[in-house]
């Protein structure tokens, strides 16, 4: 099974560069081979150093990544970390896609900060030709129980502002099962914003449009689900075949979040 991973290259001055790549997980994930980067260049073989934290270190001689396009000739093969995506089982399946022709760009459990090992506890989702104003739909029936509107765009680069008190617009839907779904970087439709909460919505109904409020470097929606105070993984009816298609993984999200 091919999985998207982040590969870390260390430069001669000690700084790091992260770039998306695609790994093949064999067996019980004891071995991950990075077979290609986004350009299809062959890469290194890595093995997990710590299966509990889902972090793996690249092993082998440095020359294995000499064809890394983001690295110079003096690249030192990283002893840094690579994230292995989704490991937390999905606890819920939504019946409706939040965007037309949607696909997940950054999955739940994807390592988003290689220094801290912090994992994504949401799914970033994009759609074909996504842009500001693209319609967003309720992924299931329920009630809009909260929304925030009018937050500005944070101009800092996404890696700097992510999780750093950079509030974004969102729409929150509570389902009959009590699960709370939030769709961030989404402006609620003005017709809905004028209605009193809770607003009953049906799955598939348009509830808003994509915006770039808060910390985001490219249009997408950050979707998270909370049950009893815990953020949980979930499944959406999106086409995720790109996980088997090196080169397409980061196309729409520009490799950022």
Partner 1 sequence: MSPRCEFSLPVIRRAARLLSGGLTVFLVCAIAIACSSHQRPTELEFKTADTLYIVRFQSSRISEAQMRELVVLSPLVTDYAGVPSPPGLWAVASVKGARRDKSLVPLPLDRCITADAAYSGCSKNSPYSGNYLQNAEVNLERSRQGLQWLRSLSHPAELDPVLAYLTGKFALLLSVEERQLRFYKTSDQSVLKEALDKIEPASSCSDALSKIASAPSRDSQFGAVATDWSNCMRTAVEQQFPQYPLEAWERFLKAYGINEDYKEQTPD
DSSP 226-256: EETTEEE--B-S---GGGGSTTSTTTTTTT-
CA 97 to chain centroid = 16
For residue 207, what is the DSSP state?
A: E
Residue 56, preceding bond cis, omega within 30 degrees? no
Nearer Cβ to partner 1 (29/235): 235
Q: Is the separation of the CB atoms in 186 and 170 below 8 Å? A: yes
Q: How far is CA 206 from CA 51, 55, 113, 181, in A?
A: 41, 38, 33, 15
For residue 192, what is the DSSP state?
A: H
Q: Is the separation of the CB atoms in 252 and 217 below 8 Å? A: no
- Rg, C-alpha atoms of the chain: 19
Torsion of CA 170, 174, 175, 176, to 10 degrees: -170
Q: Please give the residue ranges that form the binding site for partner 1 (CB under 8 A).
A: 112, 118, 120-122, 143, 145-150, 162-168, 172, 174, 176-178, 180, 182, 184-185, 193, 195-202, 214-216, 222, 224, 226, 229-231, 257
């Amino acid at each position: 099974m091919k999985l998207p991973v982040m590969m870390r290259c260390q430069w001669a001055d000690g700084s790091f560069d992260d770039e998306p790549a695609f790994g093949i997980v064999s067996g019980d994930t004891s071995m991950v081979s990075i077979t290609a980067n986004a350009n299809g260049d062959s890469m290194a073989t890595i093995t997990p150093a710590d299966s509990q934290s889902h972090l793996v270190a690249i092993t082998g001689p440095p020359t294995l990544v000499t064809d890394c396009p983001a690295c110079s000739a003096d690249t030192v093969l990283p002893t840094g970390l690579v994230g292995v995506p989704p490991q937390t089982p999905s606890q819920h399946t939504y019946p409706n896609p939040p965007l037309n022709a949607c696909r997940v760009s950054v999955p739940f459990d994807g390592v988003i900060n290689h220094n801290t090992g912090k994992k994504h506890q949401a799914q970033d989702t994009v759609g074909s030709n996504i842009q500001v104003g693209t319609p967003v739909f309720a992924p299931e029936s329920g009630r809009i129980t909260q929304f925030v509107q009018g937050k500005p765009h944070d101009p800092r680069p996404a890696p700097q502002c992510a999780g750093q008190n950079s509030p974004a617009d969102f729409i929150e839907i509570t389902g009959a099962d009590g699960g709370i779904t939030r769709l961030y970087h989404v402006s609620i439709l003005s017709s809905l914003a004028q209605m009193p909460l809770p607003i009953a919505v049906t799955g598939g109904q348009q509830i808003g449009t994509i915006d770039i409020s808060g910390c985001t470097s490219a249009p997408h929606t950050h979707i998270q689900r909370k049950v009893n105070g815990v953020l949980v993984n979930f499944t959406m009816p999106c086409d995720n075949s790109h996980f088997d298609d090196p080169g397409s993984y980061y196309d729409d999200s520009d490799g950022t979040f």
